[in-house]
Amino acid sequence: MLNSRSLGGGFVADDMGLGKTLSFLAYIIVERQLSILWREVRKSRDLKDGKHLVEGQTNAHATCPQAGQPGWIVCPCAPSSPTTSMNPQPGLRMACVPPALVSSWWGQWKTHVDTTHPLLGMRIVVDHPAAFNDKSTIEDLNTQSTKVVNQDRMKADVFRKDRNGGKGYDHPRDHQAGWLLLTTKENYGKFAKRFESKGQVLDPENPGEWKSGIRVALVFGIAMIDESHEEFFKNKGRAQILANLPTRNCSVTPFIWGYSGTPIAQTPRGLEGVLWAIEKHSWVDWATDPKFQRFEWKQLDAICKRFDAQIKSSTRDDAAVAQIIADFEPFMVNFIIRRTSSTDWFGHTLMKLKPHVHQDVWLKGNEKATNDTAAFEALFDSNRKVMLERLQANWDNFPEKRLSDIRPTLLWFNTMVRETWRSRLLATFPGLCKLAHSQNEADRLTLTEDEVIGFFRSPDQKERATPYGRHLKNIVETSPKCLWLYEFITQLNTQQDWDNQVEKLVILTAFPQAAFILKLVSAIYHLNPN
């Protein structure tokens, strides 16, 4: 709440599993509480009914005459209250998330948000048609963004065209501070288009001037994107949704937030998209304001280009790296809020782990398999060469889009990891290399995701007739990791967990190919050990 009002937003970068989704839901609820409390305070001061302290109270220790409600933040009428300096933030709330996370977000809302509280009036509108199916309840269906009643309630109080030539602000309605739009980048544009109309809008090139344009009758007070590290470039993906929030016909400056456990995993540019949106919607000009000058996009861009130059340099320059870190540190200190499982929380750590055993597993490599994998990967060097040439051509032909001052001579690390996926797969299952080279067409594998997804869709008996199934014994016996896993599962089957329940095992993999192999291993060797 403090960062929103002093900076315009920032990042929540709590470790995975610490409840970032829940923290955002809690945040919009306490912002709603603040709006309601201020409404009650102003009403009381107008009536002079004594229910709240009058404005200008000089006693620094005075407290609100009203008893606080359980679960509510402290009343802003008292000068000692931390909320007394916080103005309410009107307008709708938005969470723009990846499509795969809509159900998870909606589930958290259903579990934790009390929509029956008469004062709060919390409501969710789900702007994702795929979230609804024949199992959806009437209550679920009533949250659809296509419902006319929802659209009417989310529409701003529109400035009339016959007043002042239509040159005026649309205003948020009071109840909208309790409404959350759960959307995706794929759906938001279609949703917002329903609220468009021709009219007068503020001219970004001439502050204070109006011109003909498209008005959008939506006023957002708080907007966030989840997994902000996935699409972090300025004006790209979900970050573009934040940058293009409709603010040219309203006076509300939205609070902008990016949520990610790893906002700067590979590059300082991980902050770019969200910070650009904050700067664009700011109530001051960052280029001239002393407080914000060092956070201007141009400053971040320069740091990123220096960082990129060091990554690509063939010589190490510790002094240059130290300076980059020093220049970037204020961005992290000011804009990033981060907690880990060991963060103190009311006298104890944030997470209390159940009794558990942590075990690192080290497996000896196979030199022949390593050499075979490298030789196989080399067959695809031409594909990566084409990608690099395309990257260089873009750098040569579109100088205004350059993210680095140095012409690329190598693919980015993340790109190389993605493009050498075969090596990662063969490192775990060296036996697949033989099948990839097989002279027998019936046994030959391309190892691609499309190929194995086709196998996944086959009946169980046909899965065993695939090259993966026919050669499963060799695939398993040439994989140290798979052999260890077989023994580990066998051991788990003989014991119970800490709660005396059957042991449960979760295996994470980025490869459908690995999942398919493990499915066959489980079905053949564990579910049917004979």
Q: How far apart are CA 176 and CA 155, in angstroms?
A: 9
Kindly tell me if the per-residue pLDDT of 14 is higher than 60.
Answer: yes
Q: How far apart are CA 73 and CA 33, in angstroms?
A: 7
| DSSP state letters, 78-92 | STT-TTTT-----SE
Q: Give pLDDT tens digits for 49-79.
A: 988 998 887 677 788 888 778 889 999 998 8
Task: Identify the DSSP state of 28.
Answer: H
Predicted confidence at residue 493, as pLDDT, reads 84
Task: Show the tokens assigned to 360.
Answer: 């690192």
Q: Give pLDDT tens digits for 200-238.
A: 999 888 888 999 999 999 999 999 999 999 888 999 999
The closest alpha carbon to 376, from 285, 443, 287, 438, belongs to 438
Predicted confidence at residue 416, as pLDDT, reads 87
Using an 8 Å Cβ cutoff, are 482 and 429 in contact?
A: yes
Kindly tell me if the per-residue pLDDT of 276 is higher than 60.
Answer: yes
Mean pLDDT calculated for residue range 131-157: 94
Task: Identify the DSSP state of 122.
Answer: -
| DSSP state letters, 288-332 | T-TTTGGGSHHHHHHHHHHHHHHHH-SS--HHHHHHHHHHHHHHH
Using an 8 Å Cβ cutoff, are 249 and 215 in contact?
A: yes
Question: Structural domain boundaries of the chain?
Answer: 18-87, 89-260, 284-342, 367-526
Q: Is 10 left (phi over 0), alpha (psi -120 to 50) or beta?
A: left
Predicted confidence at residue 112, as pLDDT, reads 95
pTM of the model: 0.74
Predicted confidence at residue 405, as pLDDT, reads 77
Residue 448 backbone dihedrals phi, psi, to 5 degrees: -80, 160
Lowest-confidence pick of 195-209, 291-305, 397-411: 397-411
Using an 8 Å Cβ cutoff, are 105 and 182 in contact?
A: yes
Residue 149 amino acid letter? V
Kindly tell me if the per-residue pLDDT of 41 is higher than 90.
Answer: yes
Kindly tell me if the per-residue pLDDT of 91 is higher than 80.
Answer: yes
